[in-house]
Structure 1
Amino acid sequence: MGVISYFNKKKQEQNFKTAYEKYYDTIFKRISYLTGDMHAAEDLTQEVFIKLYNSPPAHDNIAAWLNKVSTNTSYNYIRDKKVHEGKNEMIYKKEMDNVVSIEEVAINNCEVDLTKKVLNILSPRDRMCLLLKFSGYKYSEIAEVIGVDKNSVGTLISRAQTKFKENYLNLEGRGE
């Protein structure tokens, strides 16, 4: 390092120290006011002064430069915080949609158990008709599986549904 650059470096460090001592409190208060967060203001104020140390302005109006940089830094912090909070809120809502309460699980288990009991009460042909129908099979496929004419499948399913409903309501009413 040459003599001139050494003195320039010393002068730069002295200028930085003077600016830091003179403007730190003002910049801290400004950032604290803009962000509403004292803890963040401490970090952001340090960030502003690090920027001043690493790349000082080409002009002599340090106060104006510090005000501009501190304002931009504060607004960036606020924007990033809102984005982060928005993402957290979205994740929270998404997770809450996926959460199933214990009560819901218990009710679903009871309904599944009741449905199984009712299906077991039905005749094998009625049970097969309903299971195939609600599994997405077509009437022609159901007719082939249970060995009846395709035209009679609709009637068989309708009767099986009526029997299922009666048995379901009957068992549900008894608390089974």
Structure 2
Amino acid sequence: MSIGEDEASTSEVEGFEGIFKRYYSYVVRQVMRIIPAQSVAEDIAQEIFIRLYHVDRSEIENIEAWLAKSATNGAYNYIRSEKRHRARIEKERQQAEKISQSAEIHWINQEEIESVRKALILLSERDRNLLLLKFEGFNYEELAQIIQVKKESVGTLLTRAKERFRSLYFQRKEEEQDCTVTSKERYKLT
């Protein structure tokens, strides 16, 4: 580097410092017209001056206008990025909530299936088969043939099987709740 280049570089830095000292508060005020947060405005102003430092200032006709335009654009860019950031956070929160809810629903469904199975096991084989076959879509005539009864009896048998199932199902549910309450009470005592 020659002495002439070194002097040009020094005067360039001194020129930038002068621009910075003269216009920094102006740029911050321009940003604060759009974003009323002092610290955010100062951060944006810093970014603008870093950009200005790396730009060939000889190509800029009106430095004040360039800084004002950059301040406005910087503020709007910040607002857009904040909106995207908030939208991304909200979307992630909703996804997490969905996953949490679906896991909870899955767990509840599994508990329900297990309760139904336990109640079905307690039914007589004929009642259990009758309910399962009806659930699978068999009509009364087919059910009568499978369990070897008259077609006219199927409705009555189904109704009684449903009543027994409901009774056993809700009885088991109550027992499970009583066990849960009892274990919670024991846990509180310890």
Q: Name the SS of the counterpart of 1:34 in structure 2.
A: coil
Q: TM-score, normalised to structure 1's length? A: 0.69
Q: Name the SS of the counterpart of 1:36 in structure 2.
A: coil
Query: Does residue 87 of structure 2 align to residue 82 of structure 1?
Result: no
**Corresponding residue of 1:43:** 43
**Corresponding residue of 1:20:** 20
Following superposition, the deviation at residue 6 of structure 1 comes to 2.2
Q: Name the SS of the counterpart of 2:26 in structure 1.
A: helix
**Structure 1 residues 32 and 156: CA distance shift in structure 2, 3 A:** farther
Mapped to 2, the partners of 1:32 and 1:157 lie a distance apart of 78
Aligned residues: 165
Mapped to 2, the partners of 1:164 and 1:15 lie a distance apart of 91
Amino acid in the other structure paired with 2:165: N
**Corresponding residue of 1:7:** 7
* Contact kept in structure 1, 2:32 and 2:41, CA below 8 Å: yes
Mapped to 1, the partners of 2:156 and 2:51 lie a distance apart of 78
Give 4+ residue runs of structure 1 displaced > 4 Å after superposition: 103-110, 128-134, 155-162
Query: Does residue 113 of structure 2 align to residue 115 of structure 1?
Result: no
Q: Percent identity?
A: 29
Mapped to 2, the partners of 1:66 and 1:47 lie a distance apart of 11
Q: Name the SS of the counterpart of 2:34 in structure 1.
A: helix
Q: TM-score, normalised to structure 2's length? A: 0.65
**Corresponding residue of 1:55:** 55
**Structure 1 residues 127 and 53: CA distance shift in structure 2, 3 A:** same
Moved more, 103-112 or 32-41: 103-112
- Structure 2's unaligned 5+ residue stretches are 176-190
**Structure 1 residues 166 and 127: CA distance shift in structure 2, 3 A:** closer
Moved more, 54-63 or 10-19: 54-63
Amino acid in the other structure paired with 2:65: A
**Structure 1 residues 5 and 164: CA distance shift in structure 2, 3 A:** farther
**Corresponding residue of 2:166:** 168
Tell me the C-alpha RMSD between the 2 structures: 3.9
* Contact kept in structure 2, 1:119 and 1:164, CA below 8 Å: no
Please list the CA deviations of residues 148-175 of structure 1 after superposition, one character each: whole Å capped at 9, or x if unmatched: 49xx9xx979965862454225642783
Amino acid in the other structure paired with 1:47: E
* Contact kept in structure 1, 2:119 and 2:168, CA below 8 Å: no
Mapped to 2, the partners of 1:158 and 1:99 lie a distance apart of 43
Mapped to 2, the partners of 1:42 and 1:157 lie a distance apart of 80
* Contact kept in structure 1, 2:123 and 2:164, CA below 8 Å: no
